[in-house]
Structure formats: structure tokens, C-alpha cells
Amino acid sequence: MVTHRKKLLWRHPAGRWYVRKYMNGKMAYLGRIKAEEGTAEFDRQYWEIVSGKKAAAKTSWGALIEAMKETDKWSNFSPRYRKDLERVFEYLKEKVGHADVACLTQADIYDAMEKNRDRIRFANYIPTAISMLSKLAIRKRWRKDNPAIDIEPLKVPKARQKPHLPWEDWAVEKMRSEGEAIPLLIFEIGVGSVQRPGDWVDFQWGDYDGDTLKLRQNKTDKPLQLPCTAALKAALDRAKAELAFAPHPSRHILTRSDGSAMDYHAMARVMVRERKRLGLMDFDQHALRYRGVMELAWAGCTDDEIASFSGHTSKAMIIKYAGEARQIMRARQAAAKRK
């Protein structure tokens, strides 16, 4: 590159490069060049500023994302994982979609995470997505390294850390005795299936045979057959009977008032309204899964038996909540003997 041929190029005494020109009798700064002097990226940024057109590099992040979506690896991801990654992909396309893949640094990743600190889960998905894309970029010879390796995730501030409190007996009784139809159905699906809330909205009537619910977990892609509790079976049968006609197998069990499938956020809003109405805001919908774990423990199930039902890949949470349930059960047995 011969920089003196670029008539609008100017270097600040501090070493920064700018594009500027006289307009209406005054010096106007059109933009700053952030690339290293003497590189192709430096040239590209100069001509983009001069022309006012932002050209996409052939080896851009946008192109890499589209290439990733055509891979077998992408198609084998669970729908839930793809959805999480797609949110980051959209963010990357908006911020650096036209930029060359080779220009991103580890410092850039940390900057992006810091700018999204208000949504820590999303921020921590940024290096995950970039690492995955970078591995593909290395295979395509678009860059030589993976800048997302060894990135430290952001930690949730202690002030924002709130444990999920398992639903206590009185809260369960209040929901079952006073809960409205849709929130009660959501509640019974949560406790009875012992699955994550993201899976509840995927249940269709074809997954229910009158005694058992079947699913493939979004997070683990694990197929499960779940015998229904008496309370869950009653709630499903009641919901089915209230329909004006036999539901099509592909119709979702949890639906909005217009019959369309209820998504996670709509379900969460329904449950928040009901928990506020009943004074149950201490117990969130995520904790229904833990209540289900505790009920299995009270029934005498081992950790392995609970895992076969809940689909947990790690037993840490099973041990935590099953342990609490067993302590409560043993304490009640001890109290009974004490009398």
C-alpha cells in the first residue's frame, strides 16, 4: 500500500489514521481507520469511508454464519441450542457482519461481553458462538486461530443471584385449590413431567397417550417416556375434554386464547400473573422441576431413578433437592416416633 496516494488520508500526531476533506470551507472528518497500516483491511476501510459504501468481505462474519448453518453440525443441534446461538449470530451480523473474520481479537470479544453485561446469559454465549464459528473459519483458512479460547465468562453479581425455592406444600395446595385453568395446567405439567420450562411448551396432544407423555429434551436431545402422575393426568384429561373437538395430534397442549402455540415467554407471563394473584411470587416456574424431584425422592426413588425421569445429565441438582426432600421425610418420621 502507498498511503500518500490516498489524498484524503491524514495521520494524527498520536498515530491514528483518519479520512478527512474540506467541505463548505471547513475540515470535515469522514471517519477513522482502525486497521493496521499497510494491511488490506486498512485499504478496505479507507475506500469504504471515501465511497460511503460498506462492502462485505468475502470472508466476513455474515458469510461464515451462513456457512455454519449449512453444516451437518448445525442441523444436529437441538432446536433450543440453535435458538440460543441464533440470537448471538444476529447480534454478530449487526455489529461485525461485513467485517473480515480475521480481524476479530480476544479484546473485541471481551468488549462485546461487557457491553451486554445487563444480560449475562447472552453475554456468555458470545464467546461460545464465536469459538464455534472460528473453528469453521480455521478449516476454511479464513483465520489461523480461535480468539475465543480461554475467554472467562461473566459472573452473575451476588445481588442478582436468587436461588429457586422448591414449592412448599402450602404453596402447592394453594395453586391446586385456587389456581385458574391454564396456570394450573402449566403447574401440573411442570411438577408432573419434572422437565425444564422450555420443554413444557413443546408438548403436543400426540405426545400424550392417556397415561404417558413423551418428549425429546431441547437441551440434551434425550428422548424420554414419562408416566403421568394422577394430578397431571387429571389436568390433561380435563383440558382435553374442555376442547370443542378432539385435538389434532400436532396441536400444542399449551396454547393462547386464539389456539396458537404458547411460547416460553407467553407461558412465563401467565405464571407471573397467577403467582402474583395468589401471593406465590417466592416460588417461580423453574422451581416446579425441583418440586418434582423432591416428590420422587419422597416416593423412595434413588438418584438414578430420578435421573431416568428428569433427564438430568448431572446429578448435582438431584442430590441437592432430593437430599433436602429426604431430610424432610426423615425429620417427619423422627417427629412421629417422638410422639
Dump the DSSP string for 143-174. Answer: -SS-TTTTPPPPPPPGGG--PPPPPPHHHHHH
Report the distance separating Cα 94 and Cα 228, nearest Å: 45
Same domain, 147 and 197: no
pLDDT at 328: 83
Same domain, 152 and 183: no
Domain for residue 164, yes or no? no
Domain for residue 181, yes or no? yes
pLDDT at 162: 65
Same domain, 332 and 234: yes
pLDDT at 45: 83
Domain for residue 163, yes or no? no
Domain for residue 231, yes or no? yes
The domain containing residue 17 runs over which residues? 3-51
**Ranges of the chain with pLDDT below 50:** 1-4
Question: First vs last Cα of the chain: how many Å apart?
Answer: 92
At 275, which CATH number?
Answer: 1.10.443.10
pLDDT at 324: 83
Same domain, 45 and 67: no
Report the distance separating Cα 13 and Cα 4, nearest Å: 16
Domain for residue 232, yes or no? yes
- Contacts of 85 by beta carbon, 8 Å cutoff, 6+ apart: 77, 125, 128, 129, 132
Number of structural domains found in the chain = 3
Q: Which three cell numbers stand for residue 205?
A: 396432544
| CA nearest to 130, candidates 99, 162, 171, 161 | 99
DSSP reduced 3-state for 245:
coil
Q: Which three cell numbers stand for residue 92?
A: 454478530
Q: CA angle at residue 300 from 296 to 303, to 5 degrees?
A: 65
Domain for residue 148, yes or no? yes
Domain for residue 38, yes or no? yes
Report the distance separating Cα 51 and Cα 35, nearest Å: 17
Q: For residue range 306-320, what is the model confidence (pLDDT) as tens digits? A: 988 988 877 787 888
pLDDT at 169: 93
Q: Is the pTM here over 0.75, yes or no?
A: no
Same domain, 185 and 277: yes
- Contacts of 48 by beta carbon, 8 Å cutoff, 6+ apart: 54, 55
Same domain, 150 and 189: no
Same domain, 29 and 69: no
62 and 137 Cβ atoms separated by less than 8 Å: no
pLDDT at 56: 58
Phi-psi region of 194 (alpha: psi -120 to 50; beta: other; left: phi over 0): left
Same domain, 186 and 317: yes
Report the distance separating Cα 215 and Cα 221, nearest Å: 9
| CA nearest to 31, candidates 48, 14, 56, 43 | 48
Same domain, 240 and 92: no
Of 104, 126, 156, the one marking the end of a domain is 156
Residue 64 CB-density burial (10 A; 0-12 exposed, 13-18 middle, 19+ buried): buried
Same domain, 275 and 319: yes
- Cβ of 156: how many Cβ atoms within 10 Å? 12
Of 156, 185, 213, the one marking the end of a domain is 156
